[in-house]
C-alpha cells in the first residue's frame, strides 16, 4: 500500500458538534476519518521553489559546536498557509530548533490536493545540523538538510 493511499482526511462531524453545543457537559465525538478513493490523484504540499532563503547555521550554535537533527511535521492549509507545526524530534539545542522553525516559517507553500482540490495536509521536514570540518581537513563532510517538500 502506498503512502498516498494511507493519507487520511479528517473531517468534523456536524452532528457531534451540534450535540456538544446543546450539552456542553458531553464530550465531543472523535473526528470522522475518511480515505480518498484508491484512484484519487493526491499531490503532497511542498515549498514553492525560490521562496525559501538560504538555511544558515546559527552563529551561537557554530561557536558552541552544536549539532543535531530536527524533525517536524508542518500542516499546510488549503490556502498554502502554515496551520500548525508539530516537533517530533528536537535537535537537543534551542538555537538549532529555533533556526529550523524560523526557516520553515519563512518559506511559502503550495497546498496538497486530492483530485485537484486543495486540502489540509502534513509535510514532514528534517534538518541535520552538522558542522563542516575546518578547511585544513582532508575530507570535508557535507551538511545534510532536506528542504520542506523536497
* Residues sharing a CB contact under 8 Å with residue 71, sequence separation 6 or more, in sequence order: 87, 88, 89, 124, 125, 126
Map grid coordinates 507553500 to a residue: 109
Q: What is the residue extent of each domain of the chain?
A: 1-38, 41-150
H-helix segments, 23-132: 59-63, 94-106
CA 136 from chain centre, in angstroms, equals: 37
**pLDDT averaged over 10-residue windows placed end to end, the chain, 150 residues:** 30 31 52 62 93 92 96 96 96 96 96 94 95 62 52
Are residues 102 and 85 in contact, defined by beta-carbon separation less than 8 angstroms? no
Predicted TM-score of the model (pTM): 0.64
The set of cell numbers assigned to 22 is 446543546
Which overall architecture, per CATH, does domain 41-150 show?
2-Layer Sandwich (3.30)
Amino acid at each position: 500500500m502506498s503512502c498516498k493511499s494511507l493519507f487520511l482526511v479528517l473531517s468534523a462531524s456536524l452532528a457531534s458538534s451540534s450535540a456538544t453545543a446543546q450539552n456542553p457537559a458531553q464530550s465531543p465525538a472523535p473526528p470522522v476519518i475518511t480515505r480518498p478513493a484508491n484512484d484519487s490523484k493526491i499531490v503532497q504540499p511542498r515549498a514553492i521553489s525560490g521562496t525559501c532563503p538560504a538555511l544558515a547555521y546559527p552563529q551561537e550554535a557554530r561557536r558552541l559546536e552544536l549539532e543535531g537533527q530536527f524533525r517536524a511535521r508542518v500542516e499546510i492549509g488549503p490556502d498554502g498557509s502554515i496551520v500548525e507545526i508539530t516537533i517530533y524530534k528536537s535537535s537537543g539545542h534551542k538555537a538549532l530548533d529555533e533556526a529550523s522553525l524560523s526557516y520553515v516559517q519563512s518559506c511559502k507553500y503550495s497546498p496538497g490536493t486530492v483530485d485537484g482540490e486543495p486540502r489540509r495536509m502534513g509535510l514532514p521536514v528534517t534538518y541535520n545540523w552538522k558542522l563542516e570540518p575546518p578547511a585544513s581537513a582532508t575530507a570535508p563532510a557535507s551538511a545534510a538538510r532536506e528542504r520542506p517538500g523536497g
